[in-house]
Amino acid sequence: MARKVSRRNFFATTAAAIAGSAAAIKAHAEDVTAKKAIKNALTSESAEIPEPVLPLSLDGNSYKLKMEDALEPLPMDPARDSFPRVDMNRSYSMPPATMGRQMGRVQTIGQPALGYEMDGNVKVFRLIAQPIETNITYGFTKETYTLLDESGPYEQFRYRPTASKKLLGWGFNGICPGPTLEAFEGDRVRIIVRNELPQPTSIHWHGFKIPFAQDGATGYFPWNASRPILPGDEQTYEFTLHQSGTLMYHSGFNVLVQEGMGLAGMFIVHPKKEEHPIDCDIAILLQQWNFFPGNAAPNLMSMEAKIATFNGKTLPTLPMIHCKQGDRVRIRFGNLSLLSHPIHLHGYDFEVVGTTGGPIPKTARYRESTIDIAPGQTRDIELVAWNPGTWRLHCHVLHHTVNMMANAPMGIMPPEGMFTYLQVEPRNPNDNPKSPDAPWKYEGDWSKI
């Protein structure tokens, strides 16, 4: 039961509390003023190293946390601290002439390749960071429904229609994610990056063994190797590839915003000598997106992504992977999304042969049918396509196999999201894998592969 307080006691208690607070505020202000005066009276031993605006103090060559809390936070200025996602007053460059030139062997399903030019013994790639507009999916259109057999008693259980979804994001060379770069271990590469975004940017070469000056993790602190690329400017990254494997590239400045807007891609470094020939080499980048209703620009504040994509697309817009029975298939996954994704392939087990650190030694490889890929990781899997059919390849987080989950009756939901197929064409074109009478032979003994 609440204790009754007389009006006189209430006002007396309140007045005492206000007086105490005022005294405390005055004492704190005097303390801060005194500390500022002492700080201004001191002189820095080195004018070359500016003091960072952080609770740090310079001790020799390293920064340590200060034991005081006298730094005042800087106020935000919305007019100065926000930027448009697209500058409508400027024109944007066409993709480089090397876009669409398949000079390697990796297929990034749904995305065009990027070729290179030679300058002596250096492979020269060009990337233009710019706003892009693309379709994540066209949805289940009338054309899609012509492929479906929902006749007879299945008509009442038909797939519910799904809408198209457009992305107004950021990418490279007119696409999102950016194109896959390919080179070989030992190559010297030069990547010329032009910034056509409305804010500074840079590229971090994720997983690369390169000099600090080329890493691309830029900023304004004294320990950063460089500052980012200003809008309208170019920067050249150049280094030698001392490793092989599936690597990635993404923004190295204002990363939450810029990577969240789509500034990312894959970089495949082939070994000097392959262990065995690869007939079908596939690259898939995992990303996630959220949107406000009716808006094509990503909602960067939400951790609950509503759309998950392979190479920036979902079914039915995302193409299948095609190969022939007997082909050796390698699928390379890179994850630059918010969550881990357990990717599952039907009809097969596969061998996990590579990570972001490069090829896994034979003695450490293992077999699986589902591979979990955490944010920032890459994983390579290999299999021999002995089992004909059109096999599902998808994330096994079930919400990631559909688009735009809503608190509403969902009906029969068609496959979308992180979902595609591995279509293995039978050796005999007259064989129909869908027929129960089709000839079938188990060839999945890895000891014989």
Nearest to 418 by CA among 396, 394, 391, 399: 394
The pLDDT value given to residue 11 = 44
The pLDDT value given to residue 57 = 55
* HEC secondary structure over 269-289: EECCCCCCCCCEEEEEEEEEE
Per-residue pLDDT of the chain (449 residues; tens, 9 = 90+): 445 545 445 444 544 544 454 455 455 555 545 445 434 443 444 344 444 445 555 556 655 555 555 556 666 676 666 777 888 888 899 999 999 999 999 999 999 999 999 999 999 999 999 999 999 999 877 777 788 888 889 888 888 888 889 999 999 999 999 999 999 999 999 999 999 999 999 999 999 999 999 999 999 999 999 999 999 999 999 999 999 999 999 999 999 999 999 999 999 999 999 889 999 999 999 999 999 888 899 999 888 788 999 999 998 899 999 999 999 999 999 999 999 999 999 999 999 999 999 999 999 999 999 999 999 999 999 999 999 999 999 999 988 998 876 555 568 888 999 999 999 999 999 999 999 998 898 888 876 65
The pLDDT value given to residue 447 = 66
The pLDDT value given to residue 146 = 80
Q: Half-sphere exposure of residue 160, counting CA atoms within 13 Å on the CB side?
A: 13
Q: Which residues in 24-121 belong to E strands, given as ranges?
A: 56-59, 62-65, 106-108, 117-119
User: What is residue 37's DSSP assignment?
Assistant: H
pTM to 2 decimals?
A: 0.83
Please name the fold of domain 106-134+170-425. Immunoglobulin-like (2.60.40)
Can you list the pairs that 81-88 forms with residues at least 24 positions away whose Cβ atoms lie under 8 Å?
83/198, 83/199, 84/198, 85/131, 85/168, 85/170, 85/198, 85/261, 85/297, 86/131, 86/168, 86/198, 87/131, 87/198, 87/231
Residue that is written with structure tokens 């007389």 in the block: 6
What is the tally of helices (H) and strands (E) in the chain? Answer: 4, 24
The pLDDT value given to residue 404 = 72
Distance CA 363, CA 310 (A): 31
Instruction: Look up residue 377 and give its amino acid.
Output: Q
Give the length of the chain: 449
Nearest to 310 by CA among 418, 176, 415, 164: 418
Distance CA 102, CA 388 (A): 27
